[in-house]
A and B are shown apart, each in its own frame.
Chain A
Amino acid sequence: MWDYTDKVLDHFRNPRNVGTIEKPDGLGEVGSMACGDALKLTFKLGPDKRIAEAKFQTFGCASAIASSSALTEMIKGMTLEEAGKVTNQDIADFLGGLPEQKMHCSVLGREALEVAIANYHNGGKTPKKMLEGKVVCHCFGVTEQEIERVVRDNHLVTAEQVTHYCKAGGGCGNCIPDIEAIITRITDEKKKAAAEPSRRMTVLEKIQRIGDTLTREIRPMLQKDGGDVELVDVVGNRVIVSFRGMCAHCPSASVTIKEVVEAKLKEFVAPDLVVEEEKP
């Protein structure tokens, strides 16, 4: 069985807001029977222009039902601008997390919401543009735009992750090289952006980017070997970190600092960073 959180199981067993709203203000239908999951989301706005009511119908597994139910609970009371900022990760977080292979369920929710909002702005008609785009994965009908979106939103680095998040590449597998090319393009763009900052980063931005890079690029690598690293402080261009787990006692920690931590931070944040280990 999947390692579902209690909250996922609760929303699966007792789904909130099942159904369809008659004459909704926004309607979003995504997925298909062939893909194995489909979601129909409807919402109605209150006089204050906030979402007063949201309902869903879902064909899909336990986590697809739970993600839809969670989504309807989350967006109630939001303005459409606020709702437009909900990411698939927000849906997963609301449920206390989803197994990675099931992240596509949360993406389905975000997509339905996006379509429903566009449908509202377009006077109750779903804009054609949303449904088009260059299809990369023909098995599941996933467009280039959608793959880019999940890669950016969730900082994905492998084609396998992309499959978990939006199914692309999970059928015949012929499009995997295309998915890898998209990932490489986005990673290169990020590197470029880091190498030539168009304007000075604020201290806050710098710390944020250091933190993101640690979480995304560095810690998973160290955790694989039973180690870990934490950010202690940032003083000018000096980044002070502390090793945990296996790394704390590792004789090669000084090499790891230069060749892994510093190299990655230089690559993704700013080329003038220097990393130091916190001295007890």
Chain B
Amino acid sequence: MKNIYLDNNATTAVAPEVMAAMQPFFTELWGNPSSMHVFGGQVARYVSLAREQVAAMLHADPSEIVFTSCGTESDNMAIFGAIEAATRPLRIITSRVEHPAVLGPCRRLKESGMDVVELGVDNAGRLDLAELKTALAAGPALVTIMWANNETGVIFPIREIAELVKAAGGILHTDAVQAVGKIPIDLRQVPVDMLSLSGHKLHAPKGIGALYIRKGTRIKPFMIGGHQENGRRGGTENVPYIVGLGKACELAQSSIKDENTRVAALRDRLEAGLLKSCPDTRVNGDRQNRLPNTTNISFQFIEGEAILYHLSDNGVAAASGSACTSGSLEPSHVIRAMGVPFTAAHGSTRFSFSRYNTDADVDAVLACMPGIVKKLRAMSPFVKQS
């Protein structure tokens, strides 16, 4: 049985080109880029090249890119770093649907006495910009709002948010881990101060990320004890992975058109097919402003973990916001923030595509899903059995 991977918002396969680009840095080019000899010198150029590749994808300057170990580190560094470097006390404004890598640091700061505002979303997962404006009016703030949501794919209007934050004299960080590589990002047009990205969401390996820090943004380093990354992040550079991330960004830039046409069409066909073949099914999130690769569908009256195990038996890998898979006893905080009723929340299932998916993958899910839904509904006490 062929395995069909539709969980690309969780992690992606390392691209063969990325693997090939990294390989020499484990064998011949293993020097320390800081060393004053040929072993170091020949490696340092590749780190610079990777920095240019990452910057190019974001339309940023290479000096604005700091390599980190992952998206979570980037988020922590941005939030704690900006708060510590602030010359005046800041408030924090975030949203209820952020990734735990952002909510965790914000809640830590709240415990230490900071004023933290969590903006809500409507039932399509959209922010209320008027609410943001009100929050901004209460005083200078660090705003941290994601570019796109990992569970629903809903894209926030980051450009408008950035303009509001800038007009209010605030600092804006965005967790763009899910957006980078899937939709075009041009930081010349969008005045965010900091942006987090993660390698393994765009076909680089796990263990590498980056934080974009716009020139002039004050940030106190988080990882100290080395001059690397211009003193902004100590620790010997993870050269092979940095090279891999650079290559992955270059590939993402050239495939972004495919992502927004062919991949989006695959997603749309799956979504339409499931809505048609499975009754009592709904899409969670704003379908107009959404990543091209993501759909989050609730199959009502049945539970997500049971759906995933049956899908897995059919060779299909997906994800769910159900309590049993969210690592807690309650359904996903994103789905709950959207006010999705419990009848649908526990059965929310996310399918997330990549450029490696094909029409055959969609066919396979469409072939097995109606049977799975039928089987689970036949044993659900919430479904009137005929």
Contact = CB atoms under 8 A, between A and B. Distances in A.
Interface in A156-204: 163, 167, 170-171
B329 A57 contact: no
A102 B346 CA distance: 16
Interface of A is mostly: mixed
Given A33-B346, A36-B329, A36-B331, A59 B378 contact: no
A59 B301 contact: yes
B322 A61 contact: yes
Contacts of B331: 36
A170 B331 CA distance: 12
Contact of A60 (B303, B310, B328, B330): B303
A241 to B, nearest CB: 39
A39 B381 contact: yes
A60 B329 CA distance: 12
Nearest to A15: B379
Chain B CB within 10 A, most for which of A15, A59, A140? A59
A33 B309 contact: no
A167 B329 contact: yes
B381 A38 contact: yes
A140 B329 CA distance: 9
Given A167-B329, A170-B330, A61 B324 contact: yes
Interface string B288-323: 000000000000011111100110110000000011
A25 interface: no
B382 interface: yes
A62 B306 CA distance: 5
A195 B173 CA distance: 61
Interface string A25-45: 000010001101111100000
Contacts of A36: 303, 322-324, 329-331, 342, 346
Contacts of A34: 342
B309 A62 contact: yes
B34 interface: no
A61 B309 CA distance: 9
Given A36-B324, A36-B329, A57 B379 contact: yes
15 contacts: A13-B310, A19-B385, A33-B343, A33-B346, A36-B303, A36-B324, A37-B303, A38-B382, A57-B379, A57-B381, A59-B381, A61-B304, A61-B306, A62-B306, A170-B328
Given A18-B379, A34-B342, A61-B322, 16 more contacts: A1-B309, A9-B309, A18-B378, A33-B343, A36-B303, A36-B329, A39-B381, A59-B302, A59-B303, A59-B380, A59-B382, A61-B304, A61-B306, A64-B303, A167-B329, A170-B328
Considering the complex of A and B, which 8 residue pairs feature the smallest CB-CB distances, nearest first? A170-B329, A61-B305, A61-B324, A57-B381, A36-B323, A40-B381, A18-B379, A33-B342
